[in-house]
């Protein structure tokens, strides 16, 4: 058996030994900052719970799906049952089952995109709260489409002399508030980049100051001959 030769150490110009290039490990790069999504998750869960609880109370306790109308504070606030098979204001409404699953897929895709966007951008508290409102409302309406085949809208707000023909629910309010919050969320200023340091120039050593040569012997007599007389 022959012994594997070990790599020779490199010697620097100042005489010190350097470690081989394979042993000099690079410093690990720090992971990118991510947002703490617990606020978003708790907000979405609270919206889903409140939305589904109110819908269950209206449909299964008050039987609004059969009564159709209940006045609470007319004309300001009333209960008007409306099954929405499309998006807001009845857009894309259709009796077909294909449209229902398309809307479910679009809502789930938007929720996933918003979640990843806020998580990767390390957004602040305001943006995470708005994301929770939007995703919670969207999931609440998805549950309606899976359970009833349509979204249960029951809130109606009108004015004296004007009857609002549309109804909405808590999930719709949450989606609208979350979307507005994401649009108006404060933008973080860009981080200031420190200027690169320029290498210092080595200055040549200053020459030593020249001193007058020392003289030996008696100092010369500069007095004039007439000064001693």
Cite the active site residues: 153, 172
H helical segments located in 62-150: 64-67, 97-120, 125-147
Note if the bond before 57 is cis, omega within 30 degrees: no
Element (H, E) at 170: helix 170-183
**In this structure, what token pair is assigned to residue 184?**
């108006």
Residues whose CB is less than 8 angstroms from the CB of residue 129 and which lie 6 or more positions away in sequence, other chains included: 39, 40, 43, 181
Instruction: Please report, for residues 12, 68, 74, the alpha-carbon distance to residue 161 in angstroms, rounded to integers and kept in the order given.
Output: 92, 21, 11
Distance CA 193, CA 53 (A): 51
Alpha-carbon distance of 152 to 59, in angstroms, equals 8
Q: Is 132 exposed, middle or buried (0-12, 13-18, 19+ CB in 10 A)?
A: buried
Beta strand pairing call for 77-84 and 151-156: antiparallel
Chain CA centroid to CA 117, Å? 7
Measure the CA–CA gap between 176 and 138, rounded to whole angstroms: 10
């Amino acid at each position: 058996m022959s012994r594997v030769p070990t790599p020779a150490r490199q010697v620097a110009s100042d005489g010190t030994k350097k470690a081989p290039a394979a042993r000099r490990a690079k410093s690990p790069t720090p992971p990118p900052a991510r947002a703490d999504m617990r606020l978003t998750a708790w907000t979405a869960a609270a919206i889903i719970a409140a939305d589904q609880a109110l819908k269950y109370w209206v449909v299964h306790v008050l039987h609004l799906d059969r009564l159709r109308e209940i006045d609470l504070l007319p004309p300001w606030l009333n209960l008007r049952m409306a099954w929405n098979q499309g998006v807001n204001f009845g857009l894309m409404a259709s009796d077909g089952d294909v449209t229902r699953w398309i809307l479910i897929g679009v809502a789930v895709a938007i929720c996933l995109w918003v979640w990843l966007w806020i998580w990767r951008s390390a957004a602040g508290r305001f943006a995470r709260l708005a994301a929770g409102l939007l995703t919670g409302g969207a999931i609440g309406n998805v549950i309606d489409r899976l359970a009833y085949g349509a979204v249960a809208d029951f809130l109606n707000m009108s004015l004296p002399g004007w009857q609002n023909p549309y109804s909405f629910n808590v999930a719709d309010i949450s989606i609208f508030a979350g979307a507005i919050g994401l649009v108006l969320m404060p933008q973080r200023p860009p981080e200031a980049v420190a200027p690169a340091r320029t290498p210092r120039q080595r200055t040549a050593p200053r020459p030593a100051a020249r001193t007058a040569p020392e003289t030996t012997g008696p100092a010369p007599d500069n007095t004039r001959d007439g000064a001693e007389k």
